[in-house]
Structure 1
């Protein structure tokens, strides 16, 4: 059975007219849509339509109602005012990117203190219809607007697992995932497990990396996801870890295999005492919970040497190699 959140199917959109000042406005709208031969379901003050009906409803309401008093939502997403519907509609291009799997991976090396390749982070890159790159912040913003974050995250995960085949099996593959894009670990992650097994990718090779670590609100949900990964033999990392209270507090409970120090504490750390202090606190916390400390965003030799001398074990950044469409070899490390 396919997951309805991870497939690009027609979306039912619900509109809420309970705050609208004109009591019979929902009847006016539904009659208008039915005259356009659009199927409508009315449940109390809620009106259910398909996307075409929603677009027609939006156009009708632009001239006939107070748009800020009408709300809409897709699936279990939060309610938004009708004023925001145009953003949702304009994000329809994301559906085609996902359906056509217009995604590639770029590989960035992760090295040891001796600059030996330890593994690679597989970074998702997206292509538009003309072959131009779509930046991740643009595409993930569109996916959120469109209610396609589940589907996009799944595509990214499975593509990265497939491309792990390009990596030396003795090296780790770090694969990003968004915790909020996984609503039920056993159901949502089954395809990831199955694909790894089909490709004979060992679980020990894969490291699933939590992005937006500082923004995690539901720690128990995150723990369920990581426990599921751990149960199946995978490792996991926390990305962009900083000094946020919530992050530091949850580290002991989560006990990640790897902790990645946010690049804002790495860049020019050798010249900034506050960054040095933050990097040391991070390192001590990693040691306390038994996690491997990884500094990302390393761009200069002097920052690398300071981090290395103070006990950091793994490193990632332009100093060693930029992301490329193929895994770079040991003799290409800067």
Structure 2
């Protein structure tokens, strides 16, 4: 059984009214919605309803109430201004994308210093039913607006595992958002089961923390990574740079791979400050037994400089853009 956050369950709106004028109209609001056969629950100055009721409420509120003194939230999320509610309705299309799994994975190579393919990062690409592309800068804001990031992360993770079955000779890096996982044992069960069903060796999969720099709950992240490790999988920290109370707590997380943020990679061969960050990162990775990986490489000069310093893995357009089919000639077996 899936939790509501990981499935595309019907949204529940929790609407909070403040101000004497708004509170005086609560009875009329409730009566209006009930006459239109819409479910509504009243709790003091709050109204709980489904999306269809919220759409009707918004129209009522804009015409007869004081919108500035009304807030709403979705499924016990953060409170938002009423002005954001229309965007929730406009992005309903994201539900269909997730429900019908309208996405495929593209493969971007990760190579060794000898430019042999060590792994592929599995990158989700979304589309409408007519085949037209939906870009990441559309999909993720829409998912966030409708409180669907959890469900989106799950469907992307499952698709990545399925696509990994095509590259059993090398590793697959699969992104995940730590905040989308409440309980590793519960939320990741379907991911583990799918890998087992497909006969994928756990050692092939590397689960990559998205936006490592922005992780606030380190204890929660540690629990997730410990669960992955227990099941035989490896994990990587993405976008690590000079910030991140990081570099100090990395040893505690014990990542198998550490990715140097591309902002410190582009032009590193000629930039003294970026070189300092890259060398500090490399030193810490080697100290804790983590494999250093530089991403975002587009120039040969940057690749050569990083290779000479001791970086072991590399990723970027210089080696190959994401593609529908795995590319490359020489590979390094898992």
Q: Distance in 2 between matches of 1:239 and 1:130?
A: 33
Q: Deviation of residue 331 (structure 1)? A: 5.9
Partner of 1:268: 267
Q: Deviations over 1:229-276 (max 9, x none)?
A: 111011000111111143323312211100000111111111110011
Moved more, 183-192 or 244-253: 244-253
Please tell me whether the aligned partners of residues 104 and 126 of structure 1 are also in contact (alpha carbons under 8 angstroms): yes
Q: Deviation of residue 21 (structure 1)? A: 4.3
Structure 2 CA distance for partners of 1:19 and 1:117, relative to 1, 3 Å: farther
Task: Mark the runs of 5 or more structure 2 residues left unpaired by the alignment.
Answer: none
Q: Segments of 4+ in structure 1 off by > 6 A?
A: none
Partner of 2:147: 147
Asked if 1:170 corresponds to 2:146, the answer is no
Partner of 2:216: 217
| Matched position secondary structure for 1:280 | helix
TM-score w.r.t. length of structure 1: 0.96
Q: Distance in 2 between matches of 1:104 and 1:302?
A: 33
Partner of 1:311: 310
Q: Deviation of residue 85 (structure 1)? A: 0.3
Please tell me whether the aligned partners of residues 116 and 330 of structure 2 are also in contact (alpha carbons under 8 angstroms): no
Partner of 1:233: 232
Partner of 1:112: 112
Q: Deviation of residue 19 (structure 1)? A: 4.8
Query: How does 1:15-34 map onto structure 2 within 5 Å?
Result: 15-19=15-19, 21-34=21-34
Q: Deviation of residue 65 (structure 1)? A: 1.6
Q: Deviations over 1:21-46 (max 9, x none)?
A: 44322222111111212111111111
Task: Mark the runs of 5 or more structure 1 residues left unpaired by the alignment.
Answer: none
Q: Distance in 2 between matches of 1:246 and 1:141?
A: 27
Asked if 1:180 corresponds to 2:175, the answer is no
Structure 2 CA distance for partners of 1:10 and 1:20, relative to 1, 3 Å: farther
Q: Distance in 2 between matches of 1:155 and 1:23?
A: 41
| Matched position secondary structure for 2:190 | helix
* CA RMSD across the alignment: 1.3
Q: Deviations over 1:47-93 (max 9, x none)?
A: 11110000000111111122121111111210111111011111101
| Matched position secondary structure for 1:330 | coil
Structure 2 CA distance for partners of 1:278 and 1:13, relative to 1, 3 Å: same
Please tell me whether the aligned partners of residues 295 and 316 of structure 2 are also in contact (alpha carbons under 8 angstroms): yes
Please tell me whether the aligned partners of residues 5 and 148 of structure 2 are also in contact (alpha carbons under 8 angstroms): yes
Moved more, 246-255 or 114-123: 246-255
